Amino acid sequence: MSLNRPILDDRSYEQLRDELVRRIPVYAPEWTDHNASDPGITLIELFSYLGENLLYRFNQIPEATQLEFLRLLQIPLRPAQPARSVVAMTTKEMAGVPVAMGSVAVAGDVAFETLTEVRALPVTAIAVSKEEANTPDEGSDEEAFFKQAYQAAEVESADDAVPYQSTLVWEENQGLPVDFDKAADSMMWVAVLAEDADKRDFALEALADHDDAPLLLNLGFIPDIQISEEDEIGSQTFANRFRCPGEGNSDTGPAVQWQISTATLNGEDVPQYQNISVEGDSSDGLSREGVVRLRLPRDLDEMGPFEIEDPDLIGTGDFPPPLDDELEERLLFWLRAFRLDKSDFGKVVYVGANATEVVQTVKARAEFLGTGDGQPNQSFALINKQIVPGTLVLEVEDASGWRAWQAVEGFHASNESDLHYTLDAAVGRVKFGNGLQGYAPQIGQRIRVTSYRYGGGVQGNVAPEAISKLKPIKAVKLSNPLAAYGGAEAEKIEKALDRIPGELRRRDRAVTQSDFKELALMTPGANIGRSECLPRFDPATLNDKAAGVVTVVVWPTEDSQHPDAPVPNKNQLRLVCQWLDARRLVTTEHYVIAPTYRPLSVAVGLVVKPGYGVDAVRHWVELVIRQYLAPLPPYGPSGEGWPLGRRVHGPELEAAALQVEGVEYLTGLKIAANDGENRTGDGAETVMLELYEVPELKSISVEEGAITVDPADATGIESPGMDKSPVPIPVVQEVC
């Protein structure tokens, strides 16, 4: 059945006035004065002004109808998503400054709330890795130092020692990750330092003799969120990391043991460490961005740096890695962490003291919503909009007092006695059941909201070090080492209307292949530009016949580091994993992965029509081929990006190049894969792709005349690996 669209009148004041003036000679030819001073013209202008206002109100009817249609279908607009970040604090107060949970940090006009309490102590922290290094050249001064070191550690030969260099996280590599997979001892060392070397002893005594001792030390942890080349498809680490349910939804990660240096050596000059307890860990075992809260010892004798008489022993074996003189003078004690399953920590971007997580929300005051009337489907509006789901606490008064009600997505599974309500987070409205599905507040029952949080938007994605003030505490300075992420605007009405057919079909559940694809694109705050679903494909084994397995491949809307081959970061993959996990079937084994690119090189030879510029035609041919092989919409063969697993066929690219105006004909077109694998199809001009692959155009050469560049000449170089030895030994670092 076709529906007639309304005919709207959007004429302006000037258009109405001019049209009425033009009608004067037809209906009143004796009226000849059409100047603004004429009283009749004044009446016409008044009528035009009132008519414009009426037309404006009339034109609002379709939008109001659309909103009412969404309300009747119970399809609310998706609320804005708040940004989040990790901030680190500094203070000069020796006793420290307590900062309560829910304190407000600001970046300009954007407000953030702290998610955990923290005592800002007069200390800083630097993570250090014993990163494997090459064995010094024979006969060099470095080789002599290395030999003295492993002999002092009673190691028989250099074959039983692994050379390393101290690599500092963030201090030396701001913005660049440190790979702890290359650590010689699979440990993360954290040097806790005083702000000033002159106040080192005072700071250590303040920590041990504090009235609230033993104190908690908050360590912020930020891993590298970029997908590295080692995390390619088929690797067990990659598949397990984004398995749903898995790390993306688990509250507990790999078990991590934390220890503190005791400043004492045993009879055999072996450093002694004491286990310390973890009071809180939002990083899931140092596997995601978060904060680890460590309980420090109460006794001053139970923490401190080691005093080593033999300088050749510094940094060997279980001794902490060596630092430069300036940091050694500020050193209070060492912390070290290792996983009980002996796995590594991967790439780490930042570790810092006095850290807490912040989220772009504002806590609202308690509100009285009204009283019940016993009618079905009662609804009440909150003062604020863009409510953060899960933060609203609603209570209804009955004979026994105030009772908390539970928020649900819908009343489909509610019975007549369930104290349930639904929340339209975008507009800030709560709705109760009809008495049969969900209990309805009765006549005279008061309804209140004790607390909730609201906020969100892209303005929260602030730059590094933008969060700089903590209200109202002035004795603490803070900053966010990395940019905030995750903020997204509320859904527009047009977007909500576009997803109505899909919502009616899937009812917010991921069952079919298209359900997974569409829902992945809707992940709030993930900024996903394309998604594809591979049913029965297991990325851990590359088996495309695995029963009950669903794999979703996602692309970001943009990637500044890889604009031609965009790759999502781990935060984006985790958001999609969490979003789909709540909507999949219980029996579905679900994975979310990044795309795998097959590097290609293309060479094109052509002849240009007379009268066309050669450089311009070559440029347009190159641009057309790049867009034709691009992975993101609106490019690709059908405007949806290059399809997964589709072969790159030479004649197909030739047809695309011939569409450029000014191309007479092609003298040839060659394609070659840059990864060294010989996977060709019908002739050398075709490269076959696996089910999970898309092409990445590494290089393209467009020449006039015959092809002189062979795309198959591009090769890759792999760096050799290094076996680990049991005893880490430091080597002298080269200084330029």
Model confidence at 736: pLDDT above 50: no
Judged against a pLDDT cut of 50, whether residue 2 lies above it is answered with: no
pLDDT at 193: 92
pLDDT at 715 over 70: no
Residues facing residue 375 across a β-bridge: none
Query: What is the rounded CA–CA span in Å between residue 309 and residue 322?
Result: 14
In 131-182, which ranges are continuous DSSP H helix? 141-152
Categorize the per-residue pLDDT at 679 as very low, low, confident or very high, splitting at 50, 70 and 90: low
pLDDT at 657 (0 to 100): 93
pLDDT at position 235: 47
**pLDDT (mean) for 72-76:** 74
d(CA 148, CA 732): 12
Which of 3.30.300, 3.30.70, 3.40.50, 2.60.40 would CATH assign to domain 499-593? 3.30.300
Query: Which value, in Å, is the radius of gyration of the alpha carbons in the chain?
Result: 33
Model confidence at 681: pLDDT above 80: no
Angle, helix 650-658 to helix 614-628, in steps of 10 degrees: 130
Q: What is the rounded average pLDDT of the residues 151-170?
A: 81
How far is residue 665's CA from residue 658's CA, in Å, rounded to a whole number? Answer: 7
Residue 229: pLDDT over 70: no
Angle between helices 61-72 and 39-59 (to 10 degrees): 20
How far is 61 from 54, CA to CA, in rounded Å? Answer: 12
Residues 681 and 671: beta-carbon distance below 8 Å: no
Sequential DSSP letters for 61-120: HHHHHHHHHHHHTT-PPPPPB--EEEEEEE---TT-EEE-TT-EEEETTEEEEESS-EEE
Residue 227: what pLDDT? 76
Give the closest residue to 712 by CA, choosing from 725, 698, 729, 726.
698
Q: Scanning the structure block, which residue is given the tokens 């019975």? A: 415
Residue extents of the structural domains in the chain: 13-59, 76-87+94-118+356-362+462-483, 122-353, 374-443, 499-593, 596-713
**Residue at token pair 């030390």:** 217
Report whether pLDDT(619) > 90: yes
pLDDT single digits (tens) 331-390: 999 999 999 888 888 889 999 999 999 999 989 989 999 999 999 999 999 999 889 888
Look at residues 136, 228, 241 and name the one whose alpha carbon lies nearest to residue 182. Answer: 228
Note the pLDDT tens digit of each residue in 433-465. Answer: 999 999 999 999 999 999 999 999 899 999 999
Q: Quickly count: other Cβ atoms within 10 Å of residue 166's Cβ.
A: 22
* Three-state secondary structure call for residue 461: coil
692-718: average pLDDT? 76
Integer CA distances (angstroms), 10 to 5, 15, 45, 409, 656, in order: 15, 10, 17, 39, 43
Backbone angles phi, psi at 262, to 5 degrees: -100, -5
**Token couple for 376:** 């079905």
Give the SS3 label for residue 7: coil
- Check residue 313 and give its pLDDT: 82
DSSP per residue, 536-558: T-BTTTTBTT-TTEEEEEEEES-
What is the SS3 assignment for 352? strand
Residue 710 in this model has a pLDDT that exceeds 80: no
Mean pLDDT for 474-484 is 89
Q: Residue 251 has what pLDDT?
A: 45
288-310: pLDDT as tens digits = 899 999 988 877 777 888 888 78
**Per-residue pLDDT at 592:** 92
Stretch among 251-260, 407-416, 533-542, 582-591 having the lowest mean pLDDT:
251-260
CA dihedral 80, 86, 91, 94 (to 10 degrees): 120
Rounded Cα gap, residues 145 and 695, in angstroms: 49
User: Is 60's pLDDT higher than 70?
Assistant: no
pLDDT of residue 233: 53
Residue 626: per-residue pLDDT = 93
For residue 119, give the nearest of 195, 199, 213 by alpha carbon.
Answer: 213
| Residue carrying structure tokens 């006035």 | 17
pLDDT digits over 262-274, tens only?
A: 888 887 778 889 9
Statement: residue 247 has pLDDT above 50:
no
Identify the band that residue 239 occupies on the pLDDT scale cut at 50, 70 and 90.
very low
For residue 525, give the DSSP letter: T
**In contact, 306 and 265? CB cutoff 8 Å:** yes
**Average pLDDT score, the chain:** 84
Cis before 389 (ω within 30): no
pLDDT at position 507 is 75
Q: Binning pLDDT at 50, 70 and 90, where does residue 253 land?
A: low
- Burial tier of 305 (Cβ tally within 10 Å: 0-12, 13-18, 19+): buried
Listed in sequence order, the residues at least 6 apart from 165 whose beta carbon sits closer than 8 Å to its beta carbon are 130, 131, 133, 730, 731, 733
Eight-class DSSP state of 535:
E
